[in-house]
Structure 1
Amino acid sequence: MREVILHISAGQGPGECRWVVANLARVFAKEANSQRLQCELLEQADEKAASLLLSITGDGCENFAAERVGTIRWIGNSPFRPRHKRKNWYVGVGLAPSPGDTPQLKEGDIKYQAIRASGPGGQHVNKTDSAVRATHEPTGLSVVSQEQRSQFANKKIARLKLALAFEERRKSGEASAKTDLWEQNRDLERGNEVRCYEGVKFVLR
């Protein structure tokens, strides 16, 4: 079955942008289901998370992703700062890089460690050792995946997160020679938006 994985990111945006990321993941899930696509959130939709991974599977998933990759604008009042004058909030959506597309990420260089999951998530998270920490030993990059119920699934997602970390590290290295993180976020805001949602119900404009 065809699959694409979307990476929804707040970039260097404030807490409002992170809130938009979490809600946008839910909106995309509804939109995918309406097109008879299967949607799975690979990470917990925590409103404090700067980014999330979303798996879309089924015929037509590539077109679904293509219509959403780019800058997404949400119009609305800040859910945290009611008196804030800003009404436009921006997040970025991209295709997560495949581990196979990251030549530096060799399986033999990755050390996997089973750990006990932590944080919210109920009895499953608190009582199982299905969480996985993946460390790329040559660089020291390390990620944790704990949302899935099996070590196999968490191992797959951890490797995907490492590929994403490599990509972000590469982009950060390129950007550091030209601009700072604040300017990167300004670039996101100036980007041509591909979709725009409005209000707490995220109505598509």
Structure 2
Amino acid sequence: MSAAGARPGRIDHHLLLSAGRGPQECAWAVTQLVRRLEADATRRGLAVRRVEAVPGDRPGTHRSVLLRVSGDGTGQFVGSWTGTLCWQAPSPYRAGAGRKNWYVVARPCEVDAPRTPFLESDVDVVGCRTGGPGGQHRNKASTAVRATHRPSGLVVVVDTERQFSQNRRLALELLRQRIERDDREAVRTVTTARWRIHDELVRGDPVRVERPDTGPGPDRASTGRARPQPVRTRGAATR
């Protein structure tokens, strides 16, 4: 999520919906659930944008969709759509199939790893004495360098050269390289976390059960769980 420039209560959240390793019907369910989520967000005055979509094997289906939700109260809204989601409808691809519950996983996720800008003005460089070759003159002259990058707290000590300016240059380059390495590692961590979501799909006990609209009235409870439907028996109806 990103809070840069946002006032309290108005933070963008990212939500990833994935069919996991489910059948083609789950990819179809992703598309249906994304549309339902978008409609729900519109009713609540929130904006939803599809940041990334991975198409399924069938036209109009998606293996996964990454959404960005913006507006006031996005955290609560995203929370209501987080977990295992169920699209309850007959398969559009396999006539007569008995299964009607198609499960999708929805998880908030980080999209961009924070970057650490490197500015020489953020580095404190001081001379220091270290042991090693170079003799007494080198120690007295304090040609070694201790460089501290204040924003990250990284510290390097360089004493490989005989001149302070050369050690300073090397210290700055070492700090730059370490910061770039840490940033790359942060990106890998975010990417790995997103891929793991695809394997988190758990059948059953959904936080929401959604169905195709069958009439002018809502067929779902406000929490997203299905309302109990009348159980009909021969010659009578139980309400």
Q: Output one character per residue of 1:140-168: Cα deviation in whole Å (capped at 9) or x when no partner.
A: xxxxxxxxxxxxxxxxxxx7xx6653115
Question: Using the alignment, how far apart are the partners of 2:15 and 2:42 within structure 1?
Answer: 15
The two structures, once aligned, show a CA RMSD in angstroms of 3.3
Q: 1:107 to 1:51 in 2, by over 3 A?
A: farther
- Residue among 167, 183, 193 paired with 1:167: 193
Measured after TM superposition, the shift of residue 41 of structure 1 is 1.2
SS at match of 2:52: coil
SS at match of 2:203: helix
TM normalised by structure 1 equals: 0.58
Measured after TM superposition, the shift of residue 43 of structure 1 is 2.6
Question: Using the alignment, how far apart are the partners of 2:71 and 2:42 within structure 1?
Answer: 10
Q: 1:90 to 1:66 in 2, by over 3 A?
A: same
Residue aligning to 2:98:
85
CA contact (8 A) 1:75 1:196 kept: yes
Identity percentage of aligned residues: 26
TM normalised by structure 2 equals: 0.50
Q: Say if 2:24 is the partner of 1:15.
A: yes
Q: 1:101 to 1:79 in 2, by over 3 A?
A: farther
Task: Report runs of 4+ in structure 1 exceeding 6 Å deviation.
Answer: none
Q: Output one character per residue of 1:160-186: Cα deviation in whole Å (capped at 9) or x when no partner.
A: xx66531155679xxxxxxxx7xx65x
Q: Say if 2:125 is the partner of 1:99.
A: no
Select the structure of larger CA radius of gyration. 2
Q: 1:32 to 1:89 in 2, by over 3 A?
A: same
Q: Which runs of 5+ in 1 are unaligned?
A: 110-135, 139-158, 173-180
Q: Say if 2:74 is the partner of 1:51.
A: no
Measured after TM superposition, the shift of residue 19 of structure 1 is 0.7
Measured after TM superposition, the shift of residue 101 of structure 1 is 7.3
Indicate the structure whose relative CO is greater, using CA pairs within 8 Å and at least 6 residues apart: 1
1:102-117 counterparts in 2 under 5 A?
108=180
CA contact (8 A) 2:54 2:65 kept: yes
Question: Using the alignment, how far apart are the partners of 1:85 and 1:107 within structure 2?
Answer: 55
Measured after TM superposition, the shift of residue 22 of structure 1 is 1.3
Residue aligning to 2:229:
none
